[in-house]
Amino acid sequence: MLLSHRGEGQLGRIDPNDVRLDGVLYVRQEPDRPVSDDEVQAWLRSNPWAKPDNAARALRHVRLQHELKWRLISGGALCSQAGTPFALDGAIYPSVRAFYDGLKPGGRRGRADATFAYQDQTIAVGSVAHLQLIARAVMAKVAAHPYVRGELAQTGRARLMMGGPNSQPLGRVMPFALMIERLRIAS
């Protein structure tokens, strides 16, 4: 099991952007029809500000999104800012974003050694414990709302995205935790 109900598990050993998850948590991230060199050249002609090195990758992502294999979770019930109250460790939070913002250490933002207090524990920002805490909040949100579970089920097997490999912990963990919850709902 990747995550238990208490957040204990292997989350710290799994990178949400690990290519080995391709086809496991989400459908394989290959377009039904590959992007051709002619399409890349046409796109570069219509977007002169674009970097040639990124053109094929950008077109590939557009194609994956069009084929419903890739989905950005902004807006709607799956969004971190969505008003989807949930209870975690005896407290009620109005949204996952509000929970996450409440964890931010005061005055030490951006420092590599930043920590915050939660449930009488000192937790390092970006640590496994921090990531597991965010995942638990996402799990609580999904468990609390049938319409969130319904919207999550409607994503099929698309890869959910919110942030890249270098984004804040919320942007890395929330889509990953949602995809795990999607697997649980389906089984």
Contact 103, 133 (CB under 8 A): yes
Q: What is the pLDDT of residue 6?
A: 41
Token reading at 92: 């009620």
For residue 111, what are its two tokens?
């420092």
**pLDDT confidence bin for 43, thresholds 50/70/90:** confident
Measured distance CA(25)–CA(103) in Å, rounded: 28
Q: Which residues sit opposite 87 in a β-bridge? A: 92
Chain segment 73-117, per-residue pLDDT in tens: 988 999 999 999 999 999 999 999 999 999 887 655 556 678 999
Mean pLDDT of 30-50: 89
| H or E segment and range at residue 88 | strand 86-88
Phi, psi at residue 179, to the nearest 5°? Answer: -65, -35
The two structure tokens encoding residue 1 = 């099991």
Which token pair is 120?
């009488």
Q: 141: which residues sit within 8 A by CB, 6+ positions away?
A: 84, 86, 95, 96, 148
Structural domains of the chain in order of their starting residue, each with its CATH number: 19-67 (no CATH), 71-187 (1.10.357.40)
